[in-house]
Amino acid sequence: MTNEVTHRTVETNGIRMHLAEMGTGPLVVLCHGFPELWYSWRHQLRALAEAGFRVVAPDMRGYGQTDRPEAIDQYTLFHMLGDMVGLLDALGTERSVVAGHDWGATVAWHAAQLRPDRFRAVIGLSVPFRARGSARPTTLMPQTDDAIWYQLYFQEPGVAEAEYDRNARVVFHAGKISISGDAPLGTRPFGMVPRQGRPFRWDAPAPPLPAWLTQADVDFYTAEFTRTGFRGGLNWYRNVDRNWGLLAPFHGLKVPVPALYIAGDRDPVLKFPGMDRHIADMAKFVPQLRDALMLPGCGHIIQEERAGEVSAAMIDFLRGLATERAA
């Protein structure tokens, strides 16, 4: 086994996808969320590789060194699933475990739901499996006279980019901390964006970096998103209603493979409208859910905030799969 992460680019589903990989053994694919990169899994790459697994973390469609198609409709959930199936083909592997965080968790859950022949188990971080609802998602997002839900703010092309692209360092310093377990208690709840004026206080003093986030980490994210901009990741949000329509034929379909869910009890995602119902429904829609772990004091950046605990839980789950197959 190589002791270092290696990088290469493969062809999948009509795009060129950059991969970071490490280790040998059964394959585990790690899908990052918004706004992240393969780098978000840097701790798990090494930990899982040392535990005897081949680990691959791509820059997802629209991110980093992977292609960033211009058209918004090239960022549907089905494009992401096609990317993951094509990735397995490019790697010469029939089946894999798939794990994801944030938007990557949504990709991972649906990969396991729709292609269990290719994805034999699933690990979701932060975001639980969410069954298709009865109405278009944007019609259910909260808004007031003064503010709108952040995903509604993301819908208009160019608006969020104009703010995020010129403030990348703030996004990856203060922004990451603000949704982590280290966010000061009593800060403004995450989710709503003012209708008028700047959406965030970009010029606020930068908070001290917590132990899990170094200046080198902030520099890496900042450099990549300064180079690429945020449009690719934002386009994922601009397809939420389109995804809802495309998923209609699969309404009620369960996730039939072994699964693990891990979240932090200070993750603002857990406070999203309707999220408590989705978590409660996991037992119904994910019948092979092995465990739902809640890490106390942890926020949204779970695989970075609690790298050791998350890696250990993933390894225990993966080894358990091997034991089950041998039995």
Catalytic-labelled residue, pool 59, 83, 102, 182 = 102
* Of 124, 126, 94, nearest in space to 109 by CA: 124
3-state secondary structure 182-203: CCCCCCCCCCEEECCCCCCCCC
How many other C-beta atoms are found inside a 10 Å radius of the C-beta of residue 46? 18
* Of 100, 303, 327, nearest in space to 217 by CA: 303
DSSP class of residue 214 equals: -
Q: How far apart are CA 238 and CA 179, in angstroms?
A: 22
How many other C-beta atoms are found inside a 10 Å radius of the C-beta of residue 222? 17
Q: How many residues does the chain have?
A: 327
What is the three-class DSSP state of 141? coil
* Of 319, 211, 190, nearest in space to 267 by CA: 190
Burial of 72 (0-12, 13-18, 19+ CB in 10 A): middle
8: Cα separation from own chain's centroid: 21
Contact 168, 125 (CB under 8 A): no
Annotated catalytic, 316?
no
Please give the full DSSP string across 265-293, using - where no structure is assigned: TT-GGGGSTTHHHHHHTHHHH-TTEEEEE
Contact 259, 110 (CB under 8 A): no
Catalytic-labelled residue, pool 18, 79, 110, 300 = 300
Q: How far apart are CA 259 and CA 287, in angstroms?
A: 9
Annotated catalytic, 300?
yes
Which positions are annotated as active-site residues? 102, 300
